[in-house]
Amino acid sequence: MDRTLAVPARGEPAWLRLRRAWETTTVSEAACGRLLGLFVLLVIVVSAAGLAHGAAAQTFLLIFSSIVIEALPFILVGALASAAIAVFLPERAFGAIARLPLALQLPGAALGGFAFPVCECGSVPVARRLIARGVHPSAGVTFMLASPVINPVVLASTWVAYGGHLRGGEMVAGRASLGLLAAAAAGLAIGRRSGADLLRPRATQHAEYEHGPGSAAFSSHLVSDFLFMGKFIVLGAAVSALVQATVPQSLIAKLGGTPVLAALSLMAVAYVLSLCSEADAFIAASFTSFSPGAQLAFLVLGPIADMKLSVLYGATFRGWFVPRLLLATVPLIVASSLAFGWVIR
Amino acid sequence: MSVDARIARGGVLGLWAGFFLVLWVSGTSDRYLGPRTQWIVPFGAVVLALATIAYAYGFVRTRRAGPTLTLREATSLFALLVPLAAVSLVPHAALGSFAASRKGGIGFAFVRPHAPAKPSDASFLDIRIAEGDSGFADQAGIEPGLSVRLVGFVTGSKDVPPGTFELARFYIACCIADAEAVGVPVAGHGPEPNTWLEVEGALTRRGKRFVVVPDKVTQVRAPKQPYLSFQT
């Protein structure tokens, strides 16, 4: 490996020097080959020693790999849309959107979810690109949080999971309206700053896009976004799988003694499970010991914040984003889900 | 000599494209995904392959030197290889009794599958729903005395009536992360957890639960598709 560029400042803390070295040290072909060989050797040793064959390890590996397999194509869809926005949409289009009053941008962004039917993983790179190109941060965040809740595929699966006419209409109406409300509230609470204050700058190498013919720039943007988001999905999936393989689901489910605790318990379950919003209604419907209001809290929070998303948000936005997102949405979701439960009882 | 980062990025992208192609061609994606999301695999295979080709084409056309691979980016790219390693470590594994102890123990009152064509075709989910939904039980013809045939694995759960053991299957909607173990008690003493059995017998009521009183219990191999789906 070759050390390049890094000139340590006098009195710089050790961790900063390490970080700088990590970011600037280039990897030689020989070192890259050795690292790849070590990785393959490690996999062979783990396999031969039977370390992956224990029940807990198998459960972890299966859940981990299935979350990644399910989420990565959606990341790819988001990266496709993000690259198309970056390369093919002219600057003047974003200038026109940015000049619109927030009162128009916000509902437009919230309802934009109908036109972008993918899960939460795909909406993050699109929102990042929109904000980076001048769309108001409030509108960008609102779009990101609303699209996984109100897109037609999600609403249809919610209707089916709740037995159609049995309770489907009420849950779909509750999910869509509370999802929109929470997304708009979070957008307003979080997006008051400029895009530069909201977005975390990317490491240099990921920003090195090709400039040239549209197709080359498009594929460069696509691959950079996909690889950037992909590694955080891997990390988030690992955390979620670890919790699922170690903490019994029924343990959390037993916490729901009062309506507020019940809603908070199911929101904790939604946060840990990191389910796709197209599937979570089937799980929510199975929590029959919980009220419909608590189930609605599960359905609304899951697509807004979960373990894998928190890692993805942490990489996309500044460090304060996730705590403020939870502060802006959790009390609103708890209160609204209690009101929902009271109305439909 | 340093590595051009574009080669490393293209390599990782190509590996993922290849992995999705293998999942698609080998038909093994149903070990990770439910029927609702099977389309993800051909979609991912085609789009990832196209993205790899487009990226490689752009690399070949660009004659100037690209960015060099840093330790930071190399770490990120290795992180993307970890799920591929995870799949290669457990190629034929399926969730079993340990996972059932983590991902089960909840009810299914609002999940309403279509009633089975014949009452004797009743599945684990049908029987569990019929326990708490008399309307569904009437519609599906699930009642004491009904002869059923169930294929599942032994869980070792203690949450069953005395003198019974639990036979279960995992149901999934989108992927294994949303899997839920749905079990039915079987009268008698069960073998070791994770043993796959085919149980034929008649349903009887013990309290709120339906219990299978077996006429015939046969140890069988795990089916090719170990998971059932929440098809409602």
Q: At what angle do helices A292-304 and A259-273 cross, to 10 degrees?
A: 30
B101 touches chain A (CB under 8 A): yes
State residue B92's pLDDT score.
81
Phi, psi for B25 (deg, rounded to 5): -70, -40
DSSP calls for A89-115 = S-HHHHHHHHHS-HHHHHHHHHHGGGG
For the segment A229-250, the average pLDDT, to the nearest whole number, is 82
Amino acid identity for residue A26 in this structure: T
Whether residue A10 has pLDDT greater than 80 = no
C-alpha span between A40 and A22 (Å, rounded) = 23
pLDDT grade for A142, boundaries at 50, 70 and 90? very high
State residue A279's pLDDT score.
67
C-alpha span between A159 and A179 (Å, rounded) = 15
More confident residue, B112 or A76: A76
State residue A14's pLDDT score.
82
Q: Do B98 and A234 lie within an 8 Å CB cutoff? A: no
Upper half-sphere CA count for residue B17 (Cβ side, 13 Å): 19
C-alpha span between B24 and B33 (Å, rounded) = 12
State residue A158's pLDDT score.
84
**DSSP-derived 3-state class of residue A151:** coil
Q: Do B105 and A64 lie within an 8 Å CB cutoff? A: no
C-alpha span between A151 and A164 (Å, rounded) = 17
**Nearest CA to A251 among A272, A278, A228?**
A272
| Test the B interface: residue of A51, A60, A66 with most B CBs within 10 Å | A66
For A176-226, what is each residue's pLDDT tens digit?
A: 999 999 999 999 998 887 878 888 886 544 445 555 556 777 888 888 888
State residue B104's pLDDT score.
64
A148: how many CB neighbours lie within 10 A of its CB? 30
State residue A203's pLDDT score.
55
Written as tens digits, the pLDDT of chain B (232 aa) is 788 888 899 999 999 999 999 999 998 888 888 877 788 899 899 989 998 998 888 888 776 777 888 888 888 899 999 999 999 888 888 899 999 888 765 555 445 567 787 888 889 989 988 888 888 899 889 999 999 999 999 998 888 999 999 999 998 877 888 788 899 999 999 899 999 999 999 999 998 899 999 999 999 999 988 998 866 4
| Test the B interface: residue of A69, A76, A240 with most B CBs within 10 Å | A69
Measure CB to CB from residue A69 to each of B32, B79, B173 and give the nearest one: B32
ipTM, 2 decimals? 0.90
State residue A288's pLDDT score.
64
For A280-313, what is each residue's pLDDT tens digit?
A: 787 777 676 678 899 899 999 999 998 888 988 9
**Nearest CA to A228 among A64, A78, A19?**
A78
What is the least distance, in Å, from the CA of B215 to any CA of chain A?
31
Measure CB to CB from residue A26 to each of B70, B104, B180 and give the nearest one: B70
More confident residue, B158 or A327: A327
Q: Do B74 and A35 lie within an 8 Å CB cutoff? A: yes
For the segment A159-172, the average pLDDT, to the nearest whole number, is 78
State residue A22's pLDDT score.
79
C-alpha span between B196 and B211 (Å, rounded) = 18
The answer to whether the CB of A244 falls within 8 A of the CB of B177 is yes
H or E stretch covering B201: strand B196-206
H or E stretch covering A120: helix A120-132
Cα B172 to Cα A1, A230, B84, B153: the distances in Å are 46, 24, 22, 16
The answer to whether the CB of A308 falls within 8 A of the CB of A239 is yes
How is residue A27 annotated by DSSP? P
State residue A205's pLDDT score.
44
Amino acid identity for residue A307 in this structure: M
Whether residue A68 has pLDDT greater than 80 = yes
Mean pLDDT for all residues in chain A: 82
